[in-house]
Amino acid sequence: MAKKILIIDDELLVQKVLTDKLQEQGFEIISALDGEEGLKMIENKKPDLILLDIIMPKLDGTSVLKKLKENPETNRIPVLIFTNLSDKETLAISLKFGGVEYLTKADHTLDDIVEKVKEKLGP
């Protein structure tokens, strides 16, 4: 069965390109445009991997991460923080929790991202 990836990002175009690229690679993509919606999807759909933006309306990425880590049913899902911030705070968050890594969008090609996603998902 295809692995399920949840993209939580408030930028429609970012969503669109990533969805197309990852679908092309054979993944199943679900997406949310804000943190609140994202968190609901995490709980209901149990994705295999989450691509998480930080700055978002309603609930930001940091809060989403905290909540999903508090929940024993979701705290093992690997997360790729996916942002254009590259400050201490984001770095600290990604280091604090297990299974969380951090990528700056602008500095990676789509191929880079696919590679990273595959690496995170494992065999």
Partner 1 sequence: MDYKVKIKSKDEIGQLAIAFNRMTESLKKQNKNIIKKTKELEEAKSKDEAVLASIGDAVIACDKKGKVMIFNNMAEEISGFSIKEVINGHYSKYLKFVIEETGKPSPDFIAKAIKSGKKTKTADHTLIIRKNGQKIPVEDSASPIQNKKGNIIGCVIVFRDVTQRRKIDKMKTEFVSLASHQLKTPLTVISWLVEMLNKGKVGKIAGKQKEYLTDVYHSTQRMIKLVNDLLNVSRLETGILRIQPELTQFEKIIQNVIKSRKALINKKQCKVIFKKPKKKLAPILLDKSLIKQAVNNLLTNAIRYSGPGKCQVTIKLEKRAKDYLLTIADKGIGIPKDEEQYVFEKFFRADNAQKLEAEGTGLGLYISKMIIESSGGKIWFQSKENKGTTFSISIPLSGMKEKKGEEVLVGEKK
Which region, left, alpha or beta, applies to residue 28 given φ > 0 means left and ψ of -120 to 50 means alpha?
beta
Per rule CB under 8 A, is residue 25 in the interface with partner 1? no
Beta carbon of residue 55, minimum distance to partner 1 (angstroms, whole number): 8
Which residue from 44, 107, 122, 123 is in contact with partner 1, where contact means CB under 8 A? 107
**Inter-CA distances, 81 with 1, 12, 76, 84, 116, Å:** 25, 17, 15, 10, 12
Total residue length of the chain: 123
Beta carbon of residue 89, minimum distance to partner 1 (angstroms, whole number): 8
Which residues of this chain interact with partner 1, rule CB under 8 A? 11, 13-14, 17-18, 20-21, 24, 84-89, 91, 104-111
